[in-house]
Amino acid sequence: MAGPQDIAERLRALRAALRDSGLHAYVALSSDPHLSEYLPERWQGRQWLSGFDGSAGTLVVTDGFAGLWTDSRYWEQADNALANTGIATMRAGAPDVPGPAQWLAGQLPQGARVNIDGDVLSLQAQRQWHDALSKSGIELVHDRDALDGIWASRPAPPSRPVFEHLPPHACRTRSENLAALRAAMREHGAGWHLLSSLDDIAWLFNLRGGDVSYNPVFLSYALIGHAEARLYLAPEKISASLRRALAADGIRVEPYEAIAGALAGLAEDQVLLVDPARTTVGLLRAAERAGKVEALNPTQLLKSRKNAAEIDNVRAAMEQDGAALCEFFAWFEAAQGAERITELTIDEKITAARGRRRGFVSPSFGTIAAYAANGAMPHYHATEDAHAVIEGDGLLLIDSGGQYLNGTTDITRVVPVGRVSAEQKRDYTAVLKGMIALSQAVFPEGLAAPLLDAIARAPIWRSGAEYGHGTGHGVGYFMNVHEGPQSIAYRATVTPHSAMLPGMITSNEPGLYRPGKWGIRIENLVLATPACTTEFGSFLRFETLTLCPIDTRCVDAGMLSADERDWLNRYHEHVRHRLEPLVDGPAREWLLLRTQAI
């Protein structure tokens, strides 16, 4: 792990490289050529330069300044990681902190040149950066990466095998997926469609891989025409038998690096459909001749709406996941006071419990086990060098999930250790009331998902509190745990693709965080499903998919209405009914104890 001296030396080398190239600032994004959320090591330049390993952040380096912009989930973590490095924590979202582009526009002189690697910069973001900088006469340079000359030990791209996602877990054929995509291409008047987002490609071809931590995807590009489909990836990643299976479905496998030549070969009269938010400006330089139409990747909406077979499979995965959690929590409660338990132990034990369940492949993200004050950092991550021992009195927040062949899970629970204070119970119950409110919501089909956010926040707002993250994100099907296009977050931009539609699986995870004290978040996954149709239109409701008790020891029952109490008791009755056949011994005893009615 790089220390402050290593970081200082890297920044000196970068500044020298900037001066040699006539550049005045460098911007390191949290991005790769496929605009992924979780990055292979080769593209973790921001972490290499700064030492900050949070999943979101933008590093800006000028000759006399270095600052890392990150949102409220990571402020405390960034302060700790950046101490003594000469890099300032820039609290993105705070009212007195301009965005990185705006900061550069206000600090650099006219004629300055700012470098961002175009190979990891989306077309949409490039336009935003250009607009912000050009107003101050500043040039955005995105045809090079100043980091290339100083990162001598840069890791190679990952090259793990690709495998086929097969029935009964795969519930749509490649031919069906391609037909649906081509129908959307015709609607846009496009003869070709470029895909560089890995989850879209994996979904389209019913393939999975292991190139990106937690997401079962693989480095690749796809170019889809009406008569042919091409998949670009490293040849060694795919077996001869799988290559033949793809060929039988009209899919030609090409080398990963051949995508640029294919794009350059498109003629001026050939229209290429691209998603400006999910395609890099560097890649599109190769397609200069082709005509272009811009729209959301059709696959993003197609895969967000799970079909009936997929939903049934997800319900079964939730049962396995819930049974694993029963086993874990039974161990945890019995082990308190008898074993030394740390935040790292939590991750080990919960992953091991899932590993014993049918269909489990891997965690769906890095487990967040945050005790006491650590819970106040929404995306806290324990390390060997910095972690808490679970002892004394406090609240333990556990946010975890699993990738199963038949679904993806994501759940957060908060459990007490020792005594629970009245203030902790009030905060916990306010969050629970918000989660229940959204769980019970009925709303018009097609409502912009960000508008649902206020339903969950209202009980928390009434207590005079707020939280900085969104309330809900889409979830994939044995795919990325964070998936669009829907997002329950009032700060999100409402677009034509923000609609909540039947078949979408979304998290429901309000929270409340008191720095230096505790953090509370309660999360279930919910399915948008038809509620009713009246003369006013069609309405949706949420079916709760997650199966795990909500710890009632932290609840101030006097704060719950009769309706909220009834929801909680019915939920626990449902959890007990679904999970009891799958557990025995201490896990069953724990399940029965923690699902008792209040």
- Angle at Cα 172 formed by Cα 167 and Cα 177, nearest 5°? 140
305-589 matches 163-303 in CATH topology: no
**Which residues lie closer than 8 Å to 82 by C-beta, 6 or more apart?**
50, 51, 52, 68, 88, 89
| Residue in 122, 95, 117, 118 with CA at minimum distance from that of residue 36 | 122
CATH of 4-149 among 1.10.357.10, 1.10.10.10, 3.40.350.10, 3.40.80.10: 3.40.350.10
Residue 1: its pLDDT value, please? 61
Regions of the chain where pLDDT drops below 70: 1
Domain ranges of the chain: 4-149, 163-303, 305-589
383 and 367 in contact (C-beta within 8 Å)?
no
Amino acid letter for position 25: A
Q: Are strands 360-363 and 402-404 parallel, antiparallel or unpaired?
A: antiparallel
Per-residue pLDDT, 372: 97
The CATH superfamily label for domain 305-589 reads Creatinase/methionine aminopeptidase superfamily (3.90.230.10)
Are residues 217 and 197 in contact, defined by beta-carbon separation less than 8 angstroms?
no
Rounded CA-CA distance 45/117 in Å is 11
Q: Is 3.40.350.10 the CATH number for 163-303?
A: yes
What letters, b where the CB count within 10 A reaches 16 and e where it falls short, cover 497-528?
ebbbbeebbbbbbbbbbeeebbbbbbbbbbbb
d(CA 561, CA 511) in angstroms, rounded, equals: 20
User: From CA 300, how far away is CA 199, in angstroms rounded?
Assistant: 9
Per-residue pLDDT tens for 475-516?
A: 999 999 999 999 999 999 899 899 999 999 999 999 999 999
b/e per residue, 96-129, with b = 16+ CB within 10 A?
eebbbbebbbebbeeebbbbbbbbbbbbbbbeeb
What are the strands, taking DSSP E only, across 63-185?
66-70, 88-91, 113-115, 139-141, 163-164
Given this model, what pLDDT does residue 53 score? 84
Residue 418 backbone class (left: φ over 0; alpha: ψ -120 to 50; beta: rest)? left
